[in-house]
Copies of this chain bind each other. A is one copy, B any other.
């Protein structure tokens, strides 16, 4: 039976580390990191996410501000708000909660955030810095997944890592981070022969949003499995992208859903905001 990777406990530890770092930063430089979260419209899920992020920011000792804007805001008005936050020296991190209303070009808004305050790591400059192996702010979820690997002493160097899913916020940055950590990396998607690819994975990361797509029997014995998926089944139960019970029979370590990768995303957002504030990238 695989070791459970307790993302909830690890995330709590990271948040405590950030809190201690914030106290040192206050003492040494009189500086308090500030996180501004911009939310547009009344999407209920976005409200919950933003509340969680704001609460976490306050717990680690950041200043935090929520900018709740009406769904009818124009793109130009939103751009103006982003520029105002770019110019505000008390704001070190800016997060624009996605999705945005359809009349707003999300790519344009993301590109307007200063790369040095882009704590989501979604700006093209930060995506480029990651691809080029340069320091920069990294997307929170794959950044957290890398930390989970480290926590179970899984060193990617020389291992075969397989990433299923090629999104801009998880799959592609995850593949680039694993590559930078010297894994041999395969990126898969809907056109891939998944059983064949998964069977070769010493490290498997799945981020596709399809409940239990990855069958336990495909997993290579001893693999470390990071399941980024979070899907609600018809019976209300939360499941990942990996069939957990069967996978746990073969993996050496595996993240549960919930309580695996999920809590890491906010913890790494706190870490990113601290990095942005302290100039530590």
Contact = CB atoms under 8 A, between A and B. Distances in A.
Interface residues of A, number: 35
A129 B124 CA distance: 6
A96 to B, nearest CB: 16
Interface string A158-192: 10000000101000110110010011111111011
A119 B209 CA distance: 37
Given A124-B124, A131-B131, A172-B179, 19 more contacts: A107-B134, A124-B128, A125-B125, A127-B127, A127-B128, A127-B129, A128-B128, A128-B131, A131-B172, A131-B173, A132-B172, A157-B191, A175-B187, A179-B189, A182-B189, A183-B191, A184-B188, A185-B186, A186-B186
A113 to B, nearest CB: 13
Contacts of A107: 134
Contacts of A132: 124, 127, 168, 172
A200 to B, nearest CB: 9
A56 B107 CA distance: 36
24 contacts: A123-B128, A124-B124, A124-B125, A124-B128, A124-B129, A125-B125, A125-B128, A127-B128, A127-B131, A127-B132, A128-B129, A128-B131, A131-B168, A131-B172, A131-B173, A133-B168, A172-B179, A179-B187, A183-B191, A184-B186, A184-B187, A184-B189, A184-B193, A186-B186
Given A182-B191, A185-B186, A191-B158, A176 B124 contact: no
Nearest to A192: B184
Number of copies of this chain that the complex holds: 2
A192 B131 CA distance: 19
Contacts of A131: 127-128, 130-131, 168, 172-173, 176
A126 B184 CA distance: 24
Contacts of A182: 189, 191
Contact of A185 (B133, B136, B157, B187): B187
A187 B156 CA distance: 14
